[in-house]
Amino acid sequence: MATRAGIRLTHGRSPLLAASESSSRPPPVPCLPLSKPKPYRRHMLVPLWRPLAPRSSPGPSSSYRTGFSSPVASMSSSSYEKELAAAKKAAPLAARLCQTVQKALLKSDIQSKEDKSPVTVADYGSQAIVSLVLKMELPSEKFSLVAEEDSADLQKDESQETLRRITDLVNDTFSSDGTYSISVSEEDVLVAIDSGKSEGGPHGRHWVLDPIDGTKGFLRGDQYAIALALLDEGRVVLGVLACPNLPFTSIANLDGHSSENQTGCLFSAQTGCGAYMQLLHEPSAAKISVCATENPADASFFESYEAAHSLHDLSGAIAKKLGVQAPPVRIDSQAKYGALARGDGAIYLRFPHKGYREKIWDHAAGSIVVTEAGGIASDAAGNNLDFSKGRYLDLDTGIIVTNKKLMPSVLNAVQEAIREQTQSASLL
């Protein structure tokens, strides 16, 4: 076996690929009864909505036209029905607050954390809203939240005006939405934010939240996501991605005719039940599927917009080995997972710089959306992503997301490129 910076690269059949080829799979978690969706044409600019269920329903209620045909079998009630419904209320409401802030972002709304990464009033407000909504929707359940932010900086004397602004934003968002009759104090906001201090782990249920995944994209006016997932005994069982700036049509083939009222997507998935997409603030959802590309040369791939977040040169070497012709699509946040899940691209590569530790909130929601859409996610050794170890992912070198047919060739190219890079570095 080869090593890179003390991390093992295993050769031969990876446990992930072996599992994907196995014909024995555990029975899926039963889902809500669904009506059979109609076919869906991906590049159609105006989807055909047929609202068959109230807004609070967690199940798909209509069909969305794409290039894929996705028949849905009738299923019984899901054990995560209430949780998915709560998540699909919390994330879009948090997105409303974020949209308000992004439209009129002030320099005073931006702070820096100890690691020098930016954090905005929207990050804090989003986390507070998600925490409050989940507690209101699931009052009888033990609440554990693993989230990115805490209130330490907001409790400093120089941050009191920022705290007041966050509290006003939270109250204004609840008031304008009208779903909840609630008014919160500054202390309530601090408590809600600090509800996210759970360490997670392999036992019990834990919500996992990135209140704004892609803060730098948010600050540029580009892509970001509110990413919310639920762990049950260390396993991701549902996920929701609210992507306010993601076009409803494919980002791989935008023709310049996308309009503002066709921007904003909500992706949702629960284990064994498939993945779905809908307009962010609309009730109707439709099943989505990863692309079926088998030839790497025909594939397009996503990577992080920021070079500081991923090694673009390594991704380029891998693409060259695969014969990929299309240039990379670089966008921020877990919006990449959603776009890949609906077939906009075929491969997502992420290779952080040495010393960086991946956090579970950066991948939990996105990974289940992709896997339930028929995709697969692994580290560079082909291991499943393990969310049971606490706030961090223990993984080999990087993250690979693609469809099951492409994974063997992508995994081989990744491992070859890493070995070559390691050998080159050792000669210097």
CB 415 within 8 A of CB 397: no
What is the distance between the alpha carbons of residues 17 and 15, in angstroms, rounded to a whole number? 6
- HSE-CB of 177 using CA atoms within 13 angstroms: 25
CB 275 within 8 A of CB 268: yes
Of 173, 215, 249, 397, the active-site residue reads 215
Parallel/antiparallel/unpaired status of strands 205-213 and 145-147: parallel
Tokens of 190: 């601090």
What is the distance between the alpha carbons of residues 174 and 157, in angstroms, rounded to a whole number? 27
Of 66, 109, 123, 210, the active-site residue reads 123
In the residue annotation, 123 being an active-site residue is answered as yes
What is the distance between the alpha carbons of residues 332 and 341, in angstroms, rounded to a whole number? 16
Tokens of 5: 């910076």
- How many helices (H) and strands (E) the chain has is answered by 10, 16
Q: Which residue, 327, 389, 329, is CA-closest to 364? A: 389
Helix (H) or strand (E) holding 151: none
DSSP letter (8 states) at residue 29:
P
What is the distance between the alpha carbons of residues 294 and 184, in angstroms, rounded to a whole number? 52
What is the distance between the alpha carbons of residues 33 and 26, in angstroms, rounded to a whole number? 20
Degrees (nearest 5) of the Cα angle 84, 367, 338? 80
DSSP string, 349-411: EE-PPTT---BGGGTHHHHHHHHHTTEEEEETTSPBP---SSSB---SS-EEEEETTTHHHHH
| Per-residue b or e along 191-221, where b marks 16 or more CB atoms closer than 10 Å to that residue's CB | ebbbbbebebbeeebbbbbbbbbbbbbbbee
What is the distance between the alpha carbons of residues 315 and 349, in angstroms, rounded to a whole number? 7
Q: Which residue, 247, 269, 272, is CA-closest to 260? A: 247
Degrees (nearest 5) of the Cα angle 244, 245, 247? 110
Catalytically active residues are 123, 215
